[in-house]
Amino acid sequence: MRNSSTFSVLFWIYIQRTKNGEAPIYARITLNNRKLNISLKRKADIELWSSSRQRVEGTDPFNLELNEFLDQEYSRFFQCYQELRIEGRVLSLENIKRKYVGDEKRLYSLEDIFEYHNNTCFSKLRQNTRRLYSTSQNYIRKFVQKEYGRKDYYLQELDYNFILKFENYLRSVKPRHYQKRLQHNAVMKHIQRLKKMISLAYRMEWIEKNPFLNFQSTLEPREREFLSVEDLNAIENSVLKNNRLQKVRDLFIFSCYTGIGFGDIILLKPQNLTIGLDRKLWIVTKRMKNGNSVKVPLLKKAAKIIENYKDDPSCKKEGTLLPVISNQKVNQYLKEIAVLSKVTTHLTFHLGRHTFATTVALSNGVPIETVSKILGHKKLSTTQIYAKVVERKLSDDMDLLQKKMDNDKSEEGEGLTDIN
C-alpha cells in the first residue's frame, strides 16, 4: 500500500517540431514514476532555450514574459496536485491534467454506484437477492478499508489488479455464521455482483473502461443431493407429536411431490389452485426467482396436504393455501425432523425440489422436458443436471445387481463343489 506520492514538473521543447527557429514548449509531469506530456501552447527560440534551467536565456521583454509564464505554470501544476490531495481525490496524471486545463469531470466512487444500484435496481430484485448484494457491498467496503486504508474508492482507480486482490481477500474471509472460509462458488458470486454494478457504471459512462474486460469468473458444478425413496418414506411416516414439526414436514413433502420451492410455496393462494383440462387439481403460479410460469398437476399426496389446511385458521388469516413459516425456522425444524426420522442426509428445504426432480419424477420415467416445465427452468440444460444424477443412480443400481449375480453364481459353484 502506498502512503506517499512523488510529483515533479519538467519543461522541455519539442525539437522535432521546430519551425522558423522555434519549437513548442511542453510540460512533463511525473507522478510515482509515471509520465505525461502536456502542451503549453507556447513556443521558444531553440537557440535561447536552456535545457538545464528549463527556461529561455536573455533579457528581452518577450523572453522575460515567457519565463514568468513558465514560473506561473510550474506553480499551477503543483497547486493542482496539492488540491487533489487535500480534497481526497484520486491522485493520477489524468486528473492533474484535467484540473490544469479546466476540464474536470465528476469522479464517481464505489459508494456512488452502490447507492445508484440499490435505488434503481432493488425494486426489481427478490428480497434474498437484495440481501446478497448488501452482503457483497459490505465485503467490498471491508476490503477497501483493509487493503487501501480508505472508506471509499474511485471507480476510475479500478483495474484488473483490484479484482485479483479482492478475490484473494474473499478466499480468506470466514463469515460469522459459517464454520469454514468462503468456498469457490461463493467467492465468484460476490465478484459477479461487483462486476454487474461496475458494468452498470460503465454503461452510464461513469468510467472510461471496464476493469472486468479480461476477468473470467468460473463456477464449479455442484452435486445435487436428493432423498432416496426410503428416506422420503421415513420422513412421511415418522411420528411427530409437535404441531410445528408437522406443519414443516407437510410443506417439505409438498415440495417433494410438486417441485415448488419454499419461497413460492408460502406465496400460494387459493386462486393458484385450479381445475385442469383433465378435471384434476393443478397449481398455476410463477417462480419468484425468474418469473417463469409454473403449472403443476397435483399428485394425490400433494392434493391431500392442501385439503388438510383448507380450514386452518392461520392459512385463512394469511389468505394462503399452506402455513407461512420463516425459511430460517423451516430449515432448523427440518434438522429435528431428520433426527426423528433417522435420516442421515443433511436436510434442507431445497432438497425437496431436488427430490421431486430425481426420485419422484425422472426415476419414474417422467420425460425431462416435462420435469423442466414443472420446475420452471429457463433452460433444459439446467434440468439435465438432475438427469445425470439419475444416470449415476442407475449405474450404481446395475453395479449392485452385478454383485448380486456374482454372489449367486459363487454360491452355485460352491454347491457343485460340495456335491462332488
Radius of gyration of the chain (CA): 35
* pLDDT higher than threshold 80 for residue 176: no
Cell 480508505 -> residue: 150
8 A C-beta contact, residue 292 and residue 259: no
8 A C-beta contact, residue 361 and residue 377: no
* pLDDT higher than threshold 80 for residue 20: yes
Of the listed ranges 97-106, 121-130, 344-353, the least confidently predicted one is 97-106
How confident is the model over 229-269, as pLDDT tens digits? 999 999 999 988 888 999 999 999 999 999 998 988 999 99
User: Which is nearest to 45 in space by CA: 76, 72, 67?
Assistant: 67
Classify residue 203 as left (phi > 0), alpha (psi -120 to 50) or beta: alpha
Give the CA dihedral 392, 373, 354, 279, nearest 10 degrees. -110
* pLDDT higher than threshold 50 for residue 416: no
Does the predicted TM-score (pTM) go above 0.85? no
* pLDDT higher than threshold 80 for residue 411: no
* pLDDT higher than threshold 50 for residue 2: no
CA distance 251 to 325: 9
Residue ranges with strand state E in 51-144: 55-56
The 3-state DSSP class for residue 147 equals helix
N- to C-terminal Cα separation, the chain: 86
* pLDDT higher than threshold 60 for residue 413: no
8 A C-beta contact, residue 150 and residue 144: yes
Instruction: Report residue 388's pLDDT band, with 50, 70 and 90 as the boundaries.
Output: low
Domain locations in the chain? Answer: 7-101, 110-203, 229-395
What secondary structure letter does DSSP report for 149? S
CA distance 72 to 278: 89
How confident is the model over 329-339, as pLDDT tens digits? 888 899 999 99
Instruction: Report residue 419's pLDDT band, with 50, 70 and 90 as the boundaries.
Output: very low
CA distance 15 to 419: 111
* pLDDT higher than threshold 80 for residue 89: no
Per CATH, the number for 229-395 is 1.10.443.10
